[in-house]
Each structure stands twice: as structure tokens, then as C-alpha cells.
């Protein structure tokens, strides 16, 4: 009885604030509801129009470009940092705490801070040092603004991925490394043949989470560019929010959200299948 008393309230809250809105969103995606007036059922019309929408296609292009680059940067750098922090160095625990700090900071707060850095501090520094590449606001350049978002998103995400990799590295028996040293293997060969294969499950977790979180990028865009300049940094999440709540296209963007949910699930399942097979092969 105590078990049900503890779990039922949580289930009710989860259903009310998660499952029910999801069901309602799927339902409204088949209607023409604008978010506040009457609606009528229109079937698959919204879903068909999504595939013909240039704004959404451009948002998909930006989102995947951003997500792929961010995922690569996060996993390469976080794995390198994890290996360094797992070595026998002084102040190891202090350094781990410092590297984890970005993860506990609010995303919007960090975004607004870096907005100021890119818009004010770096241009002033670049002008003073006569460095042309730093003398202009990167967030105001349609071709470069997305790189500023990549930098900030990667900087925050690296912290969490590093902790996961450190957890994986600590599961490796040190006797294996001692045997490798006796056999004369260098550091790179030890990493390729021993370290990386043994932390493959942790690599899978990080790849899936990193790509999923990058595909859902939103806060950094709101804080740093607002989708601009023009529509250069409009992600799918931003388009769904902006045009769904501000543009009166709630049902239409609900259909967009349903399709994007399917895309993210499909990509995550594909990653799990491919990377899990790699774990078995190793």
C-alpha cells in the first residue's frame, strides 16, 4: 500500500504535465486550431504542408548541421579531458569540479553572457589588437552566427559528457594497462586497442545524448540570436515555438513537432543499433 501511495501521485503528475500535453499535441496536429479559437478536423493537411515549407526545410538543414558538428566537438574534447583528469595528476578532484561548472549554469544566463561577449567584448578587443576577425560581431553575420552557438552549446555540454567518460575510464582495471606497458604498447595504441573498446558503452550513451540534445537546441538560440540574422539560426525547436505560439499556427507547428519527434526517435534508435553492434563486435 505504501508503494502505491508513493508512486501514484508521481504518475498523476507525469501524466498531467507530460503525457496529456503530448496526446493533445498529436490530436491538434490533425486540426486547424490557432491556439485560442474554434477548430475543425483537417486530417493530414498540416503534415503535407510541412514537407512543402521552405522555412522548415531550412530549419532542418541548420539543425542537423549544428547537431552533427556539436556532437563531434563535444565527444572529442570531453573524451580528451576525461583521459587527462583520470590520470595521476595533482588537484584532480578540484579540476573535475571546475570542468563540471558549465553544466550547472543556466543555459539562458550563459547564452545572454556570451551574447554580450560576442557583441561587445570581442569586437572591442579585436579593434584594440587590430585583429579583423574579432573586430565584428560574429552573431550578426548570417554565415558565422551558428558557429557562436556551436561554441556555447559545446562548452556547456562537454562538462556532462566528461563525467560520463570519467565513469567509464574508472571501470577499467589498471592491471590491463600494466600488461600493455610490459608489452611495449605506446599511448596511442593503448587508447585504440584497450581504452576506447572498453568504454564503448559510455561512448554510445554520450553519442546518443549529445546528438539528441543538439537536435533540440533552443535556449542558446533564444538568448544569443533570436533565430537571426534573418532566419540563419532558426532551429526546428525555435520554429515550433516561435510560429506555433507567436504566429498563430499552433496546429501546424504541432504537426511539425510530431514529425520531428519521430525523426529524433528514429535517429536515436539507429544510433543505438549501430553503436551497440559495434560494442558486440569489439
Is the pLDDT confidence value at 282 over 60? no
Is 4 among the domain residues?
no
Q: How far apart are CA 126 and CA 205, in angstroms?
A: 39
Containing domain of residue 138, as a range? 38-281
Is 57 among the domain residues?
yes
Write down the pLDDT at residue 281: 52
Is 30 among the domain residues?
no
Beta bridge partners of 209: none
Residue 41: CA atoms inside 13 Å, Cβ hemisphere, count?
3
Is 149 among the domain residues?
yes
Provide the CATH number for the domain around residue 215: 1.10.3720.10
Is 63 among the domain residues?
yes
For 41, the 3-state DSSP assignment is strand
Report the mean per-residue pLDDT for the chain. 89
At 143-164, the pLDDT tens digits run: 999 999 999 999 999 999 999 9
Write down the pLDDT at residue 77: 95
Write down the pLDDT at residue 274: 86
Q: How many domains does the chain have?
A: 1
* Biggest alpha carbon–alpha carbon distance for the chain: 76
**With contact defined as beta carbons under 8 Å apart, do 204 and 279 qualify?**
yes
Residue 17: CA atoms inside 13 Å, Cβ hemisphere, count?
6
Segments in the chain forming alpha helices (H): 2-14, 20-28, 45-50, 54-86, 92-104, 107-116, 122-129, 145-169, 174-182, 187-190, 196-198, 200-215, 219-224, 236-241, 250-281
Identify the band that residue 214 occupies on the pLDDT scale cut at 50, 70 and 90.
very high
**With contact defined as beta carbons under 8 Å apart, do 213 and 157 qualify?**
yes
At 67-122, the pLDDT tens digits run: 999 999 999 999 999 998 888 777 777 877 787 888 888 889 999 999 999 999 98
Amino acid at each position: 500500500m505504501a508503494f502505491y501511495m508513493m508512486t501514484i501521485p508521481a504518475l498523476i503528475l507525469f501524466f498531467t504535465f507530460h503525457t496529456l500535453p503530448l496526446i493533445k499535441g498529436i490530436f491538434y496536429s490533425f486540426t486547424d486550431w490557432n491556439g485560442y479559437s474554434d477548430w475543425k478536423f483537417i486530417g493530414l493537411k498540416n503534415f503535407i504542408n510541412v514537407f512543402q515549407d521552405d522555412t522548415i526545410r531550412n530549419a532542418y538543414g541548420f539543425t542537423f548541421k549544428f547537431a552533427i558538428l556539436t556532437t563531434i566537438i563535444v565527444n572529442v574534447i570531453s573524451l580528451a579531458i576525461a583521459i587527462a583528469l583520470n590520470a595521476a595528476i595533482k588537484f584532480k578532484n578540484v579540476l573535475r569540479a571546475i570542468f563540471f561548472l558549465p553544466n550547472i549554469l543556466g543555459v539562458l544566463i550563459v547564452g545572454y553572457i556570451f551574447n554580450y561577449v560576442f557583441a561587445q567584448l570581442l569586437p572591442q578587443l579585436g579593434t584594440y589588437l587590430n585583429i579583423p576577425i574579432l573586430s565584428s560581431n560574429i552573431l550578426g553575420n548570417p554565415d558565422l552566427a551558428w558557429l557562436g552557438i556551436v561554441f556555447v552549446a559545446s562548452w556547456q555540454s562537454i562538462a556532462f559528457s566528461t563525467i560520463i567518460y570519467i565513469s567509464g575510464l574508472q571501470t577499467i582495471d589498471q592491471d590491463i594497462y600494466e600488461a600493455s606497458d610490459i608489452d611495449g604498447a605506446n599511448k596511442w595504441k593503448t587508447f585504440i586497442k584497450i581504452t576506447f573498446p572498453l568504454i564503448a558503452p559510455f561512448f554510445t550513451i554520450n553519442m546518443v545524448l549529445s546528438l539528441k540534445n543538439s537536435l533540440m537546441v533552443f535556449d542558446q538560440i533564444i538568448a544569443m540570436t533570436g533565430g537571426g540574422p534573418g532566419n540563419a539560426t532558426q532551429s526546428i525547436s525555435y520554429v515550433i515555438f516561435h510560429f506555433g505560439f507567436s504566429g498563430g499556427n499552433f496546429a501546424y507547428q504541432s504537426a511539425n513537432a510530431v514529425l520531428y519527434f519521430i525523426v529524433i526517435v528514429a535517429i536515436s534508435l539507429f544510433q543505438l543499433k549501430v553503436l551497440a553492434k559495434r560494442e558486440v563486435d569489439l
